[in-house]
């Protein structure tokens, strides 16, 4: 349900409950004879007056408090008056009058439990103080304030709602014994009547605040989920939250896991934002939150030892910190500070926790995106470096180029390259000012020395430390005394170390495992370059070999297809190393075996391709057996020597596969051949890794392209059925499954239905369309699980028998279709194959499921929109029908002017008026107000109008007419609705009006001389109880007299400060314009009302009848006064 609609429902229910309470109390009192005494009648008049006024306030807290003040003014003298409400430990005065002067609303922090106010709150009992001076020692508590001129007497009355004191009404006087016990009783009656309405208004305000918070969270969530730079994201968050909720300071901190430092990234407080604050883990409330990964809500920072004062945030009184975490990984802290103590209530905590969760996900997504981007850049840099390094055959140029590449592509500025010469490791090239010093000093180490560089040269293993100061193997290099991290990897071919690659950083924990992998890969490439250069420099006769290696390297690095890479490798290897058979087997770590991916020999290589063999001690024997399959069966060579060799292909210290060769003849593989084969193996490993990375990128691009095709197909379809048909068809085409079905979820009925399927038998597909799944454990699973899950045989979750039968499968993969966090349907497919493409298929399935969820959600929203439009059209028709019930023409009588006005608060309303021609020639005048709004009120109005006309047809006594209408309403209607009616029988000849009233606002009769009287009569609203008794009264309108009948939509109208237009506003307007015509008077009233309310929305129907007598001679005013007095005495 939409949040605004929820708020409206809460308000309607609250108002309805209050109205029902008033009516029930009235009826019970009436039935018990409670109205028998004048005191009780006065009590009920107070209740009715308060109830009517509160009903018109529409759950506006300030307006209700203002009404209570106005009603209290009728009971006691209120020159010193206050209505105060409790908000936790605070006491908030909503209406405050002191010495007759109206004061603004005031909050007293921590004062809700002190003095007489605190005593009334604790005991929920009222107090009457006759004389503070005389009773001071006997008082249960003393006032918490000090005054030069303290009051002498007072009343303190609790506001009790739901058994809890929610506030106090207090009146005070400078005179002793100003208030009696009766005053306390009446004020208690008023407080009891008002407390429920105040509590409902508070709840309504809380609901509106929660709705506003949810709206802001939704808006921020939309902004957060947009991929953008983190500084922009942080700035948007702090600015928006600060502007919307007015917090003193909103700050976002990020947490560095390596350094355990919390850094300020953005703040809504400009001066604090410029501080670039850094905190250690555990330092201050923010650091404590980051260290313990727990929410911190401190109502008073001055009382919390963890609080770290900041000069520019000196007004901070309370603080809230929420950890920004994803999968238990600490990313940062959302810190909100307020200049009010105890500022973060339950609703604030809810909103800020939700925002923190969204922000954490956004940070994680941005970090992941940034890491992937950097990884892609480094992979491209690796390819560039490989092409550059392997093409340089001068050893010095090669090393200098490597240093430059590392500085340019990886951003390291302390790079060092050492070459192993015998048992020493000699510095040859580096970056940084210290490198020049090392060159001049000809820095070198023995491989037996201590230090990272000798250790790596000695062991041939990479070494990384994020805190070198605590590593015993570390030796400080000249000019690098501030180094905190060091990464050293061997430059090696096979087990032969050619040199050492060393990188240092002044930052702790500066190197990640990904850095090590990439640098090791580069080192392996450098090793190849160094080896190639060495071979070229040592012996010119190996020129062809060096050129071949270079060509092979370039070809392998530039190729992106693994199969082509391996075949090209074997072809090039044949040019430089004589052999009869060769193959390449790639390691499959998950299966624990090798698979032959390339082969070359004297026979067709297809015989051994794709054969697999386990990785164990028998691996060499299995390789030799496969190599023999690549040779011709020549018996003459049976006794010839066979020399076999295999070399592991490694990348970054990780085995990728094996390169195996066999030579037949007297010449075995020599050291030079072995070195060449090792070089090819390492080149192959590098090329394979790059090709596999590229293949992964291509696969990702293919998945993206497939999902874009699905999205385009969806955008071209408008009907839900067509979109779902397209989706299930595309699923079969793109995911390589045989069966697919989609069903929509009905949240209210808790069932799946409206299925669409492909891949089923025609009869099964037809049955699937009408299939309904309810009352099955699968539905509970879908409501609690957002990930794909295998359901059916062999799992913990049963599959509905109908799906087993229709799909012909005992096991299905079920994908919940989630849109905006809510289940909208389910997609069923047969479980896809578990092979190398399984991840790609699952990505596409997830994308199609997402499109299906959007399609179902869009269809539901469209249906709701169509329903709203239909209701709007029906309301327009209802409005025209209701308008037709009002008189189309007003009576035209000599000597009389009549004007009317009607304006509904909604499209249709519950007010109505009527002029009924009676048999005697007289006219019935009706003005009424149904106690509701909208369609129910309009329907009840139509029923009331019909019954009034029927009852008035053969009756001229207005009281009898309305009592008959009451009987008809109670017999015809089964609703809890009621109506207030003022009904008068008007003799246009004599000017006499006989009238009765059932709880309606009494009309005003304004005489020509400016005197006025309300045409009131005792009675209860129609449609409430049976056998009512109504009072009949009469009056006579003289020339230039004006009668104004109205509904409470006029007198209860509010302007922006909560002040009512009131009876005073209506009376003064009519009195001022009484000399004008009836039409002009009506227009003046409406203009005055609209001017008073300004832009405030109309919350109740407005109905008005103006009747003016003109043209007759002056009659004695005394006659009218005698008639009215006589009528009052007679009743």
Sign of the dihedral defined by the CA atoms of residues 129, 135, 140, 141, in that order: positive
- Residue 1116 scores a pLDDT above 60: no
Phi, psi of 321 (to 5 degrees): -130, 135
Give the tens place of pLDDT for each residue, 296-317.
999 999 999 999 998 889 899 9
pTM: 0.35
What is d(CA 751, CA 748) in angstroms, rounded to the nearest whole number?
8
Using only the alpha carbons of the chain, give its radius of gyration. 45
Report pLDDT for 1120. Answer: 38
- Residue 634 scores a pLDDT above 60: no
CATH 3.60.40.10 fits 892-1130, yes or no: yes
- Residue 15 scores a pLDDT above 60: no
- Residue 623 scores a pLDDT above 50: yes
Q: Are strands 296-298 and 1102-1109 parallel, antiparallel or unpaired?
A: unpaired
Report pLDDT for 129. Answer: 93
Q: How confident is the model at residue 557 (pLDDT cuts 50, 70, 90)?
A: low
Average pLDDT of the residues in 586-612: 81
Label each residue of 517-573 as H, E or C: HHHHHHHHHHHHHHHHHHHHHHCHHHHHHHHHHHHHHHHHHHCCCHHHHHHHHHHHH
Q: What percent of the chain has pLDDT over 70?
A: 81
Average pLDDT of the residues in 518-541: 75
Tell me 1001's DSSP state.
P
User: Mean pLDDT lowest for which of 54-58, 635-639, 702-706?
Assistant: 635-639
Q: How confident is the model at residue 1128 (pLDDT cuts 50, 70, 90)?
A: very low
Average pLDDT of the residues in 158-179: 91
Mean pLDDT of the chain: 81
Residues of the chain with CATH 3.30.450.40: 3-209, 225-366, 390-538, 540-631+639-699, 717-863
Q: How confident is the model at residue 600 (pLDDT cuts 50, 70, 90)?
A: confident
What is d(CA 579, CA 668) in angstroms, rounded to the nearest whole number?
10
CATH 1.10.1060.10 fits 225-366, yes or no: no
- Residue 569 scores a pLDDT above 70: yes
Sign of the dihedral defined by the CA atoms of residues 1020, 1025, 1026, 1027, in that order: negative
Sorted by sequence, the CB contacts under 8 Å of residue 420 that are 6+ apart come out as 426, 447, 457, 497, 498, 499, 500
What does the CA dihedral 640, 642, 643, 645 come to, rounded to 10 degrees? 170
Evaluate whether 178 touches 155 at the Cβ level (below 8 Å): no
Q: Are strands 444-446 and 463-465 parallel, antiparallel or unpaired?
A: unpaired
**Pick from 1047, 1031, 1123, 1037: nearest CA to 1074:** 1037
**Pick from 937, 934, 964: nearest CA to 949:** 964
Q: How confident is the model at residue 159 (pLDDT cuts 50, 70, 90)?
A: very high
Give the tens place of pLDDT for each residue, 347-392.
788 888 888 888 888 888 877 777 777 777 767 766 776 776 667 7
Report pLDDT for 230. Answer: 77
- In b/e form, how buried is each residue of 255-286, taking b as 16+ CB within 10 angstroms? bbeebbbbebbbbbbeebbeeebebebebbbb
Provide CATH code, domain 540-631+639-699: 3.30.450.40
- Residue 786 scores a pLDDT above 90: no
DSSP per-residue codes, 148-211: SS--SEEEEEEEEETTEEEEEEEEEESSTT-S-HHHHHHHHHHHHHHHHHHHHHHHHHHHHHHH
Number of residues that make up the chain? 1131
Sheet holding 1042-1046, edge to edge: 896-903, 1102-1109, 1042-1046, 1004-1006, 1012-1014
What is d(CA 1131, CA 1128) in angstroms, rounded to the nearest whole number?
5
What is d(CA 117, CA 84) in angstroms, rounded to the nearest whole number?
9
What is d(CA 526, CA 665) in angstroms, rounded to the nearest whole number?
35
CB-neighbour burial class of residue 405 (10 A; exposed 0-12, middle 13-18, buried 19+): buried
Give residue for tokens 């229709």: 806
Report pLDDT for 875. Answer: 64
Report pLDDT for 44. Answer: 57
3-state helix, strand, coil in the chain (%, to 5): 45, 25, 30
What is d(CA 3, CA 52) in angstroms, rounded to the nearest whole number?
29
- Residue 1119 scores a pLDDT above 50: no
Report pLDDT for 1074. Answer: 92
Give the tens place of pLDDT for each residue, 200-228.
888 887 777 767 766 766 666 666 656 56
3-class SS of residue 786: coil
Give the tens place of pLDDT for each residue, 95-151.
999 988 999 988 888 888 888 888 999 998 999 999 988 998 888 988 877 677 789
Token reading at 183: 């005053």
What is d(CA 1063, CA 474) in angstroms, rounded to the nearest whole number?
92
- Residue 1125 scores a pLDDT above 80: no
Evaluate whether 1031 touches 999 at the Cβ level (below 8 Å): no
Q: What percent of the chain has pLDDT over 90?
A: 27
DSSP per-residue codes, 909-970: -SEEEEEEE-TTS-EEEEEEEESS-HHHHHHHHHHHHHHHHHHHTT---HHHHHHHHHHHHH
Average pLDDT of the residues in 638-653: 72
CB-neighbour burial class of residue 1010 (10 A; exposed 0-12, middle 13-18, buried 19+): exposed
CATH 3.30.450.40 fits 390-538, yes or no: yes
Report pLDDT for 983. Answer: 96
Phi, psi of 1112 (to 5 degrees): -85, 160
Report pLDDT for 707. Answer: 57
User: Mean pLDDT lowest for which of 63-77, 684-698, 818-832?
Assistant: 684-698
Q: How confident is the model at residue 2 (pLDDT cuts 50, 70, 90)?
A: very low
Evaluate whether 935 touches 878 at the Cβ level (below 8 Å): yes
User: Mean pLDDT lowest for which of 114-123, 966-975, 1053-1062?
Assistant: 966-975
Average pLDDT of the residues in 750-771: 89
User: Mean pLDDT lowest for which of 545-559, 762-776, 824-838?
Assistant: 545-559
Report pLDDT for 542. Answer: 60
3-class SS of residue 246: coil
Give the tens place of pLDDT for each residue, 407-439.
777 778 889 999 988 888 989 889 888 888 888
Give residue for tokens 């304004």: 1006
Q: How confident is the model at residue 881 (pLDDT cuts 50, 70, 90)?
A: low
Report long-range pairs for 422-428 (Cβ below 8 Å, ≥24 apart). 423/447, 423/448, 425/453, 425/454, 425/457, 425/499, 425/500, 428/395, 428/396, 428/399, 428/499
What does the CA dihedral 579, 581, 584, 590 come to, rounded to 10 degrees? -140
Report pLDDT for 1077. Answer: 94
**Pick from 331, 332, 310, 335: nearest CA to 320:** 335
Tell me 664's DSSP state.
E
Label each residue of 747-784 as H, E or C: CCCCEEEEEEEECCCHHHHHHHHCCCEECCHHHHHHHH
Instruction: Specify whether the backbone of 1112 is left (phi greater than 0), alpha (psi in -120 to 50) or beta.
Output: beta
Q: How confident is the model at residue 665 (pLDDT cuts 50, 70, 90)?
A: low
- Residue 37 scores a pLDDT above 60: no
Give the tens place of pLDDT for each residue, 458-486.
999 999 998 888 888 898 988 888 898 99
Report pLDDT for 1129. Answer: 32
Provide CATH code, domain 717-863: 3.30.450.40
Report pLDDT for 453. Answer: 92
Give the tens place of pLDDT for each residue, 980-1030.
999 999 999 999 999 999 999 999 999 999 999 999 999 999 988 988 999
- In b/e form, how buried is each residue of 487-503, taking b as 16+ CB within 10 angstroms? bbbbbbbbeebbbbbbb
Report pLDDT for 359. Answer: 84
Token reading at 280: 């250690």
Which is higher by pLDDT, 289 or 631?
Answer: 289
For 36, half-sphere exposure in the C-beta direction (CA atoms, 13 angstrom radius) is 5
**Pick from 219, 231, 251: nearest CA to 320:** 251
CATH 3.40.50.2300 fits 3-209, yes or no: no
Average pLDDT of the residues in 900-914: 84
């Amino acid at each position: 349900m939409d949040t605004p609609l929820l708020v409206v429902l809460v308000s309607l229910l609250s108002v309805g409950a209050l109205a029902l309470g008033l009516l029930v109390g009235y009826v019970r009192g009436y039935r018990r004879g409670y109205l028998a005494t004048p005191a009780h009648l006065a009590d009920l008049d107070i209740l009715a007056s308060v109830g009517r006024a509160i009903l018109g306030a529409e759950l506006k807290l300030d307006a209700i408090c203002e009404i209570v003040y106005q009603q209290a003014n009728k009971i006691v003298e209120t020159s010193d008056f206050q209505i105060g409400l409790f908000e936790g430990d605070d006491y908030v005065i909503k209406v405050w009058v002191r010495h007759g002067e109206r004061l603004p609303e005031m909050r007293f922090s921590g004062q809700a439990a002190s003095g007489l106010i605190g005593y009334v709150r604790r005991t929920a009992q009222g107090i009457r103080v006759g004389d503070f001076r005389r009773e001071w020692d006997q008082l249960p508590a003393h006032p918490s304030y000090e005054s030069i001129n303290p009051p002498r007497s007072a009343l303190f009355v609790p506001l009790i709602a739901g058994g809890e004191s929610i506030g106090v009404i207090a009146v005070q006087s400078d005179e002793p014994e100003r208030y009696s016990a009766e005053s306390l009783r009446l004020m208690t009656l008023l407080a009891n009547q008002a407390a429920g309405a105040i509590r409902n208004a508070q709840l309504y305000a809380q609901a509106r605040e929660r709705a506003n918070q949810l709206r802001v969270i939704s808006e921020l969530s939309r902004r957060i989920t947009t991929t953008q730079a983190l500084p922009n994201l942080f700035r948007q968050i702090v600015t928006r939250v600060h502007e919307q909720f007015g917090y003193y300071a909103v700050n976002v901190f990020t947490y560095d896991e390596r350094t355990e430092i919390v850094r300020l990234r953005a703040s809504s407080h400009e001066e604090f934002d410029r501080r670039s604050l850094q905190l250690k883990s555990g330092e201050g409330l923010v650091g404590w939150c980051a260290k313990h990964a727990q929410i911190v809500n401190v109502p008073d920072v001055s009382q919390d030892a963890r609080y770290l004062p900041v000069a520019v945030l000196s007004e901070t009184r309370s603080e809230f910190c929420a950890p920004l975490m994803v999968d238990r990984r600490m990313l940062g802290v959302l810190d909100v500070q307020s200049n009010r103590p105890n500022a973060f209530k339950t609703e604030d905590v809810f909103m800020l926790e939700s925002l923190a969760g969204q922000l954490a996900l956004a940070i994680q997504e941005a970090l992941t995106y940034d890491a992937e981007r950097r990884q892609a850049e480094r992979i491209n840099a690796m390819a560039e470096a490989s092409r550059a390094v392997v093409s340089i055959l001068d050893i010095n140029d090669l090393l200098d180029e490597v240093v430059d590449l590392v500085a340019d592509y990886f951003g390291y500025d302390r790079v060092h390259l050492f070459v192993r010469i015998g048992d020493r490791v000699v510095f040859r090239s580096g970056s940084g000012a210290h490198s020049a010093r090392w060159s001049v000093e000809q820095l070198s180490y023995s491989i037996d020395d201590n230090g990272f560089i000798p250790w790596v040269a000695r062991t041939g293993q990479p070494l990384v430390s994020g805190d070198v100061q605590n590593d015993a193997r570390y030796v400080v290099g000249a000019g690098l005394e501030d180094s905190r991290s060091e990464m050293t990897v061997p430059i090696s071919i096979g087990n032969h170390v050619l040199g050492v690659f060393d990188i240092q950083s002044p930052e702790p924990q500066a190197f990640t495992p990904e850095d090590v992998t990439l640098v090791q890969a580069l080192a392996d490439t450098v090793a190849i370059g160094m080896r190639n250069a060495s071979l070229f420099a040592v012996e010119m006769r190996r020129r062809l070999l060096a050129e071949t290696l270079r060509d092979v390297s370039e070809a392998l690095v530039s190729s992106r297809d693994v199969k082509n890479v391996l075949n090209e490798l074997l072809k090039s290897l044949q040019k430089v190393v004589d052999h009869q058979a060769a193959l390449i087997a790639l390691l499959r770590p998950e299966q624990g075996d090798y698979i032959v991916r390339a082969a070359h020999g004297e026979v067709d290589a297809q015989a051994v391709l794709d054969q697999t063999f386990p990785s164990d001690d028998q691996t060499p024997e299995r390789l030799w057996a496969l190599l023999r399959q690549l040779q011709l069966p020549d018996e003459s060579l049976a006794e010839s020597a066979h020399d076999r060799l295999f070399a592991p292909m490694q990348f970054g210290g990780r085995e990728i596969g094996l390169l195996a060769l066999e030579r037949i003849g007297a010449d075995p593989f020599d050291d030079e051949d072995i070195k060449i084969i090792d070089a090819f193996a390492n080149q192959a490993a590098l090329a394979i890794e790059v090709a596999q990375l590229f293949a992964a990128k291509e696969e990702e691009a293919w998945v993206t392209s497939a999902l874009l095709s699905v999205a385009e197909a969806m955008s071209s379809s408008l009907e839900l059925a067509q979109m779902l048909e397209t989706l299930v068809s595309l699923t079969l085409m793109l995911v390589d499954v045989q069966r697919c079905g989609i069903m929509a979820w009905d949240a209210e009925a808790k069932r799946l239905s409206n299925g669409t399927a492909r891949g089923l038998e025609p009869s099964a597909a037809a049955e699937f369309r009408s299939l309904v799944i309810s009352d099955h454990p699968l539905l509970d699973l879908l409501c609690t699980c957002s990930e794909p899950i295998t359901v059916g045989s062999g799992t913990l979750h049963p599959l509905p028998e109908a799906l087993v039968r229709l799909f012909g499968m005992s096991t299905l993969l079920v994908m919940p279709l989630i849109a905006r966090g809510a289940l909208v349907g389910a997609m069923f497919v047969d479980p896809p194959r578990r092979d190398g493409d399984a991840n790609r298929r699952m990505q596409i399935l997830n994308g199609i499921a997402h499109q299906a969820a959007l399609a179902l959600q869009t269809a539901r929203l469209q249906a709701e929109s169509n329903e709203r439009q239909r209701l709007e059209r029906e309301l327009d028709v209802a409005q025209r029908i209701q308008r037709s019930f009002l008189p189309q023409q007003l009576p035209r009588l000599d000597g009389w002017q009549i004007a009317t006005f009607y304006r509904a608060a909604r499209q249709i309303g519950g007010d109505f008026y009527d002029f009924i021609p009676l048999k005697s020639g007289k006219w019935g005048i009706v003005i009424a107000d149904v106690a509701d709004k909208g369609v129910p009120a309009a329907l009840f109005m139509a029923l009331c109008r019909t019954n009034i006309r029927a009852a008035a047809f053969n009756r001229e006594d207005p009281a009898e007419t309305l009592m008959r209408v009451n009987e008809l309403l109670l017999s015809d209607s089964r609703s809890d609705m009621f109506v207030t009616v003022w009904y008068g029988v008007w003799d246009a000849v004599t000017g006499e009006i006989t009238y009765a009233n059932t709880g309606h606002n009494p009309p005003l009769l304004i005489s020509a001389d400016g005197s006025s009287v309300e045409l009131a009569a005792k009675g209860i609203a129609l449609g409430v109880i049976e056998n009512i008794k109504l009072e009949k009264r009469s009056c006579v309108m003289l020339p230039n007299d004006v009668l104004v009948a109205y509904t409470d939509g006029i007198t209860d109208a509010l302007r922006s400060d909560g002040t009512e237009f009131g009876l005073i506003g209506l009376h003064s307007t009519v009195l001022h314009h009484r000399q004008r015509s009836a039409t002009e008077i009506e227009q003046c009233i409406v203009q005055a009302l609209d001017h008073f309310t300004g832009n405030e929305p109309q919350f109740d129907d407005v109905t008005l009848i103006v009747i003016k007598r003109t043209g007759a001679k002056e009659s004695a005013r005394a006659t009218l006064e005698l008639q009215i007095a006589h009528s009052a005495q007679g009743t």
